[in-house]
Amino acid sequence: MPQEHLPFALPDISEDEIEAAVEAMRSGWLTTGPRVAEFEREFANFLGGGDIQAVAVNSATAGLHLALEAIGAGPGDEVIVPTWTFTATAEVVRYLGATPVLVDVNPSSLNLTAASVEAAISPRTKALMPVHFAGLPVDPAVRSLAAARGIPVVEDAAHAFPADDGTGPVGAGDAAATVFSFYATKTITTGEGGMVVTRDPALAQRMRTMRLHGISRDVFDRYRSTAPAWRYEVVAPGYKYNLTDPAAAMGLVQLRRARAMRDRRAAIAQTYLDAFADLPVDLPARGGREVLHAWHLFVIRMRTEGGRSRDAFIEEMAKAGVGCSVHFIPLHLHPYWHDSLGARPDDLPVASAEFERVVSLPAFSAMTDAQVERVVGAVRRVLT
């Protein structure tokens, strides 16, 4: 009998998250309230506290949009973005009327490099948006270059919690803002949601205002304040990007489990690294000794001597009952970005070539040892 299909990813949810969400619902706070405020405080503390401020939002896409808006990106500006990312990283640039400038990536890490950024800087460059692909932090030299050129950095850390680039936790450095994702498949989840962190109080205040219609007082503040609850001022044309209390309650539990879940993913990754070392695949970069990889994804790359294309490998794995995925289809290969930016495959040769080889294997923290061994066995049967 065929085994039950193993999905590419599943959330790691315990009874504690379920109970926390139910308790929040029973409290009467269904929108942004005390649990969101607590989640923001605890998240900032997780990264080291001090002057770090955290702003909870309903998606990482919303967080990226808010961060770029807060630094003043707009029409006529350019924002440097790696082509190796999900479309959200670039689409938020378009939301503001600015232009994404796509750059190629390092063939080992699939992260952008200081050299690729340097070549893309122009007088119109407003910001840099590095992506910590798969949970491997971008080389700190990229931030150093941006700082030397006076370019604000908005980090897309959707894959990178918790992670450390060797100089400190991702999100605790000198970026203008860092944005984390709590989507259902991410390293911690609230179902949908995200968090923006910054050390700049003015940026934090602007993002808090803009996440809820440009209103000068948070919902929670309006209902707990001694001032009239109905009195508020709209100071800008904002958005509807706030997180709910039931989601934040779930996030608080996930935050307490974050290190243990990261360690489980790291253990799965090590099992794969050992098991696949003799196969005709290139294994993912791990970073230096001081780097803490979040292992959101485990991405292998097919070699030509393996005798199977990426697509054929995925089909064979599906027949074996194991779900795989591809991260990412580079932006310049999508019709909209290709047509609107005029980006050709030859302009971004590393990403164009590596796309044909990449496969993401199941590597989520809720996997059992038996499921991990299923993946190992399937990969080895397909490739040997």
We report the CATH number of the domain holding residue 377 as: 3.90.1150.10
Q: Report pLDDT for 1.
A: 42
Please report, in tens digits, the pLDDT of each residue of the chain (384 residues total): 457 999 999 999 999 999 999 999 999 999 999 999 999 999 999 999 999 999 999 999 999 999 999 999 999 999 999 999 999 999 999 999 999 999 999 999 999 999 999 999 999 999 999 999 999 999 999 999 999 999 999 999 999 999 999 999 999 999 999 999 999 999 999 999 999 999 999 999 999 999 999 998 765 665 565 566 778 899 999 999 999 999 999 999 999 999 999 999 999 999 999 999 999 999 999 999 999 999 999 999 999 887 899 999 999 999 999 999 999 999 999 999 999 999 999 999 999 999 999 999 999 999 999 999 999 999 999 999
Residue 137 DSSP class: P
CA distance 362 to 365: 10
Out of 255, 282, 305, pick the residue that ends a domain.
Answer: 255
Give the CA distances from residue 366 to residues 10, 139, 187, in Å, rounded to whole numbers and listed in that order: 7, 29, 11
Burial class (CB in 10 A: 0-12, 13-18, 19+), 55: buried
pLDDT on residue 222: 54
Q: How far apart are the first and last CA of the chain?
A: 23
Please check whether residues 39 and 98 belong to one and the same domain.
yes
Residue 317 CB neighbours (<10 A): 22
The pLDDT assigned to 220 comes to 60
| Residues 244, 296 share a domain | no
β-partners of residue 80 are 101, 128
Residues 277 and 213 in one domain: no
Same-domain check for residues 231 and 274: no
360 falls within a domain: yes
Q: Are residues 199 and 284 in the same domain?
A: no
**Alpha helical stretches, state H, the chain:** 15-27, 34-46, 60-70, 87-95, 114-120, 140-148, 201-210, 219-224, 245-275, 310-319, 335-341, 349-355, 369-383
Beta strand 125-128 with 78-82: parallel, antiparallel or unpaired? parallel
Question: Do residue 361 and residue 301 come from a single domain?
Answer: yes
Same domain, 192 and 280: no
Tell me if 7 is assigned to some domain: no
Complete DSSP assignment for 278-322: TSSEEPPP---TT-B---S-EEEEE-GGGS--HHHHHHHHHHTTB
Q: pTM for the whole thing?
A: 0.97
Note whether 22 and 146 are same-domain residues: yes
Domain count, the chain: 2
Is there a single domain that holds both residue 40 and residue 127? yes
Domain span holding position 274: 258-383
Considering the domain architecture, whether residues 248 and 365 belong to the same structural domain is answered as no
Domain boundary among 236, 255, 274: 255
Whether 1 is covered by a domain: the verdict is: no
Q: Has residue 318 been placed in a domain?
A: yes
Domain termination site, one of 255, 287, 316? 255
| 171: three-class secondary structure by DSSP | coil
Looking at the structure, do residues 347 and 249 belong to the same domain, yes or no? no
CATH of residue 113:
3.40.640.10
Phi, psi of 272 (to 5 degrees): -65, -45
Q: Is residue 150 left, alpha or beta, with left meaning phi > 0 and alpha meaning psi from -120 to 50?
A: left
Residues 88 and 230 grouped into a single domain:
yes
Joined tokens for residue 104: 């190629």
Q: Which of 28, 36, 27, 13 is nearest to 241 (CA)?
A: 36
In a domain, residue 185? The reply is yes
Inter-helix orientation angle 369-383/245-275, to 10°:
50
> What pLDDT sits at residue 217?
78
Residues forming the active site = 186
pLDDT attached to residue 3: 74
